[in-house]
Structure 1
Amino acid sequence: MMFRMNLIVSVFALLGYCATAQDRFLTLTGTVTDAHTGQGIPFASIYLRTGTSGTATNTVGEFVFKYRDANVTDTLLVSSIGYRPYRQPLQAIGKDIAIALEPAAVTLAGVTVTARTGLEILKEAVEKIPQNYDTTAVQYTAFYRENVWLDDFELTQAEAVLDIYRPFKAGKDLNEQIRLVKGRKKKMDYGREAQLYYWMNGTSNGARGSLSEDLVKYCRAKYSPLNPENYRYYNYTHTETIREGDRDLLVLDVTPRRKARKGYLRMRLFLDDATLAIVKYNFALTEAGIRRVSRKDKGLLFAIMSAVVHVSTEYHTFQYTVSYSNQNNKWYLNRVTRHWEILVDSKKRNWTDRLWRADMDLVMTDLRTDNVQPFTEGDIAGSQAPMHTMIASEYDAAFWENYNVLKTEDTAVQSAAPWPATDTIAVASARAASNRQNSFSRADTLRGKLTPLRTNYDVTFYHLDVAIDLDKRSVQGRSLIRFSARQPIARMQVDLYANMAIDSIVFRHQALRYSREFNAIFIDYPETIPVGTEAEVTIYYNGVPKTPDRSIPMDGGVLWDKDSLGNMWAQVVCQGSGASLWWPNKDHQSDEPDSMKIWITVPAPYTEISNGRLQRTTPLPGNRMRYEWYVSYPINNYNVTFNIGQYAHFEDRYISDDTLTLDYYVMSYNLERGRQIFKQVHLMLKTFEKNFGKYPFKRDGFTLVESLYPMEHQSGVCIGKITPQSSTGTNRLLWHESAHEWWGNALTAKDIADMWIHEGFATYAEILVIEDRFGTEHVQEALDDQMNAVMGNEPVIGVYDVNHIHYDIGDMYSKGSLLLHTFRSVLHNDTLWVNLLRAIQQKFRYQTLTTDDLVAFINDRTRTDYTYLFDQYLRYTNLPKLAVVLKQKEEYLEVTYAWQADVKNFRMPVRVTTAPEKMGFIYPTTRPKTMVLKNMSVEEFDVDTDNFYIDVHVE
């Protein structure tokens, strides 16, 4: 069933009317002010009594309203909650008008509310949310507009029609879906300041942000005044009751308590007296809130780019309004308006307090409640990109006049594909990922378990010699495996995907018998190989390697694409899926060769980049070139790669105690951008060597490669495509992938279930670069980003012995990094922390390890058992929760506290407020403890959740 909502649509009608060529539009401009104070009324609604056109005032009460000349006999209506509505025939109004609204009649708080405090009213309103609001899934059609200005210079003007799928369930993260139906944007000429202005108009997905301001749905949000956890920070006052149409509205003012550490908002809520439904609220940030947002909502990228473009910023104003509309006795989100102002200084440009401001408006125009289903494609809600970058069309003056709300199939924007599209064979399109939800199979055990047929030998050397046919997208060649017998060997397992053909397997000039099961190959030897014997076996093979199946997380394969000039561009990425998708090997992370030769033959016009150091290039018949690489250190199979393209190459040197060669490969048309982006490498290496020790692969050098996909291939690190946006001196992706040279390459998890050792440490390495380059004040911005990224659906450690990787592993990165920062905060000794990191590298360099190995070493090195801490964060989805009970006893505050955790005897120290404006350690256990703090109030008490990634519950 479709409800038509009587909502106001900004600027032009969006409701199913298709204008004709004969329609002519008239323009009315004006202001709407408070009749008593003379101040402009923001976001007042301006619309016609019988028509469908409408608009709203801006933050200072100004508006521009266009309507069809056919509506000239209609009546103009202006309304705003808290004011009496204004009505005037259009024929009696000129082209410009000043409208003064009278405040609505105020009634004294009657007997229905005198017995209740403002907080009691709010608590009851929150309890009644399931009764007052539709808590089923609904779908809206919405209009969205955003404008960004620097003083009077317009940076962005974009408008869009959106479909929004909105489940009411409030989780930790936003769960709406947004689909772009149609949009327009105004083309801007930024001139010489293009880099600065592109950055300034890079406001994160404003429609997504607007939905997050719905505090009714997200009443349990971390800092919401509607969250019972935060009641202690605010005063809730019932100030008046006003008449709005046929309803009495209770007005609640929410203000921070004087000593509240987290009183971030000032709010005014309007509640229907009869039902206590919240029908509208306005809120603005307090000074504390502005400080918080300056750190948190700007985000790390904002802080970094401020330095890059030579500006400093100070958040000045934040104003938000959220309103709801009633349909069939249920309330639905109606409109969200957001306005912010930032003052900008730039010594380079002689700027002082230039006003950078933005207005965003999201208006629901249609509502569907029956048989609503999630979107299966086109969802852009997860994107942090600015809305205007997702709108392809330029500004079209007739856009809204000719817009029809009935959408066609080709209007939806497709979601960005994580892998390039390909027409090669899809070997797994219908395959379910093996994971905890879908269970595991024998194929997963063969791939992930160290069986006796794998542990009976140790690989010491590979020689991979293959030719790549770019037209057929095929591989043909041989893989020589040198091994040492750990046990007597009559049979052994190696691995190669089943879609790849084996031509022969040769041992001492003799073809061997073999069998295949799933992606495993079982080789039978004519006689048993004795323990300690060094031997070689060569597998000749060919085939078309698989391409990534985009429906399966972490599914690897060969990427085939073209560069910007139309030349072929190829790369293999196989972490998770395994190197055996393109060459035969013992495909288990526990066994690395001591060294390796990689020979890749490609058509002569192309350059090929693999791992290690390029020894030589050898011309071959058929206008082909063989690139011969040698890796002189242990290397894990998934790190072995090829990149094929029309590359330009340049070199550099990094000198610390000795000299490290730096090789850079980029697309020829990105040579200058490459030189710019790689300027940061020296500073990055300095940070990594300070914290982790010397670069681990000095003989092979350090190579960075522009690629189709970013990946930490050893001594040939791939950084993804170079774009104008990434061509800065602050590329976090480059830092992350390079950090894997220490965490993932120099030491490697024995089982992929422990891959957090790679990703958690590499993600925290980004924090260390930020700390060195931009100061500790920006570290928290990056940590906040990581906290927002944690999903908490799966334990960080996967399932052992089944190659468990095909699920959303994001928490290995974010939660793994936050675990490390929490542990660093527990140590509270940065000298010990850095020495520990360097000692881990020294102990496990060129080896594989498990989580248990790592934790045991940390315990030994620190002489403290931290097993409980790592187990809680890595083996469970729940965070440890600090339960706190506060009791005010005159000038004393009694604090009772205890840990609630999955791990028995969890006992992590944590920092809390121990005196006014002072933090100190307490030592909670799972048994309650009590302390008494002098001259403290409940609103002053806080827990250091910036540096300790924990949950806190305060009563």
Structure 2
Amino acid sequence: MRKSVLILFLILYGTTYGQDLTPAICVKGTSPVNRPGYASRPLEDSRLHDYDVNFYHLDISADNLSTDLDGSVRILATALKDPLAEMVLELTDALIIDRIEDLSTSSDIPFTHANDLVVITLPDPVTAGDPVDIRIYYHGTPPVDAGFFKGISSELDPDWNRRVTWTLSEPFNALDWWPTKQVLTDKADSAYIYITVPSSLKAGAAGTLSRITELPDNRSRYEWETRHPIAYYLISMAIADYQDYSYDVSLAGQPTFPVVNYIYDHPGTLPQYQDDLDQVGDMLELFSELFGPYPYSDEKYGHTMAPLGGGMEHQTMSTMDFFSFTIDAHELGHQWFGDHITCETWNDIWINEGFARYCEYLAIEFLIDENTARSWMDSRHQSILSAPLGSVYVPSGQADDPFRIFDGRLTYNKGGAILHMLRYLINNDDAFFQGLRTYLSAYGDDVATGEDFRDLMSAETGLDLTTFFNEWYFGQGNPVYDIIWEHRNDSLIVNARQSPSAAGGVAFFTTPMPVNAVLNGSDTLLRLVPASASETFKIYLPGEVNEITFDPDRYLVKRVNSITRAGVTGIEGLNTAGISVYPNPAKGYIQIQGGTEPLRLLQVMDMQGRILLQKENLSMTERTVYTGNLGPGIYLLLVNVGSQRYQQKILIE
């Protein structure tokens, strides 16, 4: 029984290559948001920044038949404001707070609960640096009309006929099921998640299962404990009639730890997914080699199943609708990128999703083969190019909208693709992966932005990556190329013209262009570094070039309009018209000399390809061109004479 993949709004269209390479889905949904205003988070209350969370202890009773909850949450925090007189938390108004206890005095303390905010009045103001220790007792049924983006769900998985209750808090939905502080920069230093369920069920969560405590009335408490920093949205629970399929992995330099899989207790589930589950051990070994040790080897990695339509990277225990090669790689990759390092703002969700998407590629490249990886990248590129604009960075004003945050084309696919381009730009796999390891070492257990990653990789590689990030991370669109080439006098001559994908996109991308020349039957890969939007390259290649291909390894996100071999008149961009320019360098004017035909077109462009001066149909006596309106600098002169074209850089002083 194969689970049909729910096509989410953020899924790219994938292709299967011998193995199940279904595109990974990470959070996220099909349904429009039904509760008014729920898709966009209200303005964050500034009082959430008045304290630092040290520890959460969730102690919740639930089952797999409803979203009804009854429990408490202990929060141990440190005051940052001096004095701290009140403490603010987030919790949906649909849940009822029974009381709040000050654990330092064992006394109840006053609070208000409205507009999804809990305002707690501390009995005595707390000095900055001092602890606050409270427990919130609450119960109720969370809202059920929030569309896909709701913190807790309880449904029947129709393919396996199993009831499941599970949570999915990313990005702003933890408040639907527990009182919390939804601030990315404040990871709790540790957390306990205790879940009491009917004894016929199992409950999965982050960390190590310290014990299962049997309770009266045929109930069991699953006591999960993590001692690693954890972001609020990575705290989770999943409850169902599970079977435990676990195995141990031993990775070089790390303690043996378990891969704990809570899958449906159905006779068909394990046979369906055992191979997929077993391959996670190979992925753990690969990613530990590429990125550094698995961050949670003193606890576990694992999965719980739930019909969420994809996967969610809950720390140490991803929640999965199904298992496949790419979704397994994606959610595992998140344990390094997203969980160990978390985006500092939702603008920088690329830190999570772009990296996890590229983990899919790396798993295919190293565990299957490079040809399959290239085909996979082709499919991602097709998705990116399905619209002409859009940045990987989530612009200001859109970072409160889950549908923009989890845009599959931009956040996931283009986010993964620019990492592949960065790897190509660095042109040294040892340096690229060492940079990733240094990045994880520098920002592990913390948060980071795109700029943090840019600056660290610049320092690690010695390359100034500012322009690359401005073009590909913050910028929009992609280059469109027209290529004309010829092989003459033992030289390969390539004229590459670049145009933006649409108005508003980056006008000129500086990324080196990979060109493969088939020389005497063998491949020769060239890196052509453009200085302008239209440029001619001449490379000494003795022998015979029969054909060229552009970007054979699928590094660049681009369109190629045409690749043409020049005819008998020669390649455009070469001086085949007998034209010259004087003076060069120029002061105030240039003069076009030579040739026997009128100039059909004359253009002067800047090095970004913008046309600054244009004249048409110049007679033989109209060859002097005033350049006094152009500032000092290097420009590109293009002249059409008859059917031929002359191109040259000119310096204006």
Same fold (TM over 0.5): yes
Read off the aligned partner of 1:637 and give its amino acid letter: Y
Q: 1:931 aligns with which of 524, 537, 541?
A: 537
Match of 1:612? 207
CA distance in 1: counterparts of 2:344 and 2:367, whole angstroms: 33
Read off the aligned partner of 1:930 and give its amino acid letter: T
SS in 2 for 1:698: coil
SS in 1 for 2:441: helix
Match of 1:303? 18
1:943 aligns with 2:569: no
Match of 1:275? none
**Contact 1:868-1:905 within 8 A present in 2 as well:** no
Q: Structure 2 matches for 1:506-905, cutoff 5 A?
A: 506-507=101-102, 508-547=105-144, 549-550=146-147, 554=149, 556-562=151-157, 566-657=161-252, 658-669=255-266, 670-709=269-308, 710-721=311-322, 731-790=325-384, 791-792=386-387, 794-799=390-395, 803-807=400-404, 809-810=407-408, 811-882=410-481, 893=493, 895-897=495-497, 900=500, 902=505
What do the CA deviations read for 1:536-577 (whole angstroms, capped 9, x no partner)?
Answer: 122222221234744x6x555323225767553221112123
Q: CA deviation at 1:639?
A: 1.3
Q: CA deviation at 1:517?
A: 5.0
Read off the aligned partner of 2:495 and give its amino acid letter: V
Change (3 A) 1:876 1:580: same
TM-score where L is the length of structure 1: 0.51
CA distance in 2: counterparts of 1:752 and 1:844, whole angstroms: 17
Read off the aligned partner of 1:830 and give its amino acid letter: D
What do the CA deviations read for 1:778-819 (whole angstroms, capped 9, x no partner)?
Answer: 210110121123254642222458533234510211111111
**Contact 1:756-1:797 within 8 A present in 2 as well:** yes
Change (3 A) 1:567 1:783: closer
Match of 1:501? 96
What do the CA deviations read for 1:321-361 (whole angstroms, capped 9, x no partner)?
Answer: xxxxxxxxxxxxxxxxxxxxxxxxxxxxxxxxxxxxxxxxx
What do the CA deviations read for 1:127-177 (whole angstroms, capped 9, x no partner)?
Answer: xxxxxxxxxxxxxxxxxxxxxxxxxxxxxxxxxxxxxxxxxxxxxxxxxxx
CA distance in 1: counterparts of 2:241 and 2:196, whole angstroms: 15
**Contact 1:746-1:845 within 8 A present in 2 as well:** yes
Change (3 A) 1:580 1:430: closer
Aligned-pair Cα RMSD in Å: 3.4
Q: 1:429 aligns with which of 34, 51, 71?
A: 34
Q: CA deviation at 1:938?
A: 12
Match of 1:214? none
**Contact 1:855-1:867 within 8 A present in 2 as well:** yes
Q: Number of aligned pairs?
A: 528
**Contact 1:468-1:474 within 8 A present in 2 as well:** yes
CA distance in 1: counterparts of 2:111 and 2:471, whole angstroms: 45
Change (3 A) 1:876 1:625: same
What do the CA deviations read for 1:910-949 (whole angstroms, capped 9, x no partner)?
Answer: 2125674533111113464332357899994542162212
CA distance in 1: counterparts of 2:374 and 2:30, whole angstroms: 35
Rg larger for: 1
Q: CA deviation at 1:835?
A: 1.0
**Contact 1:611-1:716 within 8 A present in 2 as well:** yes
Change (3 A) 1:806 1:515: farther
CA distance in 2: counterparts of 1:922 and 1:904, whole angstroms: 18
Change (3 A) 1:733 1:611: same
CA distance in 2: counterparts of 1:894 and 1:628, whole angstroms: 65
Match of 1:910? 513
Match of 1:491? 86
CA distance in 2: counterparts of 1:564 and 1:625, whole angstroms: 27
CA distance in 1: counterparts of 2:525 and 2:75, whole angstroms: 59
Change (3 A) 1:510 1:905: farther
Q: Structure 2 matches for 1:321-332, cutoff 5 A?
A: none
CA distance in 2: counterparts of 1:898 and 1:784, whole angstroms: 20
SS in 2 for 1:762: helix
CA distance in 2: counterparts of 1:892 and 1:610, whole angstroms: 60
Change (3 A) 1:556 1:756: farther
**Contact 1:500-1:542 within 8 A present in 2 as well:** yes
CA distance in 1: counterparts of 2:29 and 2:477, whole angstroms: 32
Match of 1:444? 42
Change (3 A) 1:927 1:800: closer
What do the CA deviations read for 1:186-223 (whole angstroms, capped 9, x no partner)?
Answer: xxxxxxxxx9xx9xxx9xx9xxxxxxxxxxxxxxxxxx
**Contact 1:632-1:699 within 8 A present in 2 as well:** no
CA distance in 1: counterparts of 2:151 and 2:486, whole angstroms: 56
**Contact 1:547-1:559 within 8 A present in 2 as well:** no
Q: Which has the higher contact order (CA 8 A, sep 6+)?
A: 2
Q: Structure 2 matches for 1:308-347, cutoff 5 A?
A: none
**Contact 1:602-1:625 within 8 A present in 2 as well:** yes
Change (3 A) 1:895 1:575: same
SS in 2 for 1:682: helix
Match of 2:597? none
SS in 2 for 1:301: coil
SS in 1 for 2:86: strand
CA distance in 1: counterparts of 2:451 and 2:69, whole angstroms: 39
CA distance in 2: counterparts of 1:892 and 1:649, whole angstroms: 62
Tell me, which stretches of 5 or more residues in structure 2 are unaligned?
A: 8-12, 565-653
TM-score where L is the length of structure 2: 0.73
CA distance in 2: counterparts of 1:830 and 1:462, whole angstroms: 40
Q: Structure 2 matches for 1:389-400, cutoff 5 A?
A: none
Q: Structure 2 matches for 1:71-110, cutoff 5 A?
A: none
Change (3 A) 1:849 1:680: same
Read off the aligned partner of 2:514 and give its amino acid letter: R
**Contact 2:101-2:135 within 8 A present in 1 as well:** yes
SS in 2 for 1:540: strand
Greater CA drift, 517-526 or 606-615: 517-526
CA distance in 1: counterparts of 2:376 and 2:318, whole angstroms: 23
What do the CA deviations read for 1:671-690 (whole angstroms, capped 9, x no partner)?
Answer: 33343332212211111111
CA distance in 1: counterparts of 2:178 and 2:395, whole angstroms: 25
Match of 2:641? none
CA distance in 2: counterparts of 1:632 and 1:563, whole angstroms: 36
Change (3 A) 1:514 1:759: same
Tell me, which stretches of 5 or more residues in structure 1 are unaligned?
A: 1-194, 206-296, 307-382, 385-417, 435-439
Change (3 A) 1:678 1:894: closer
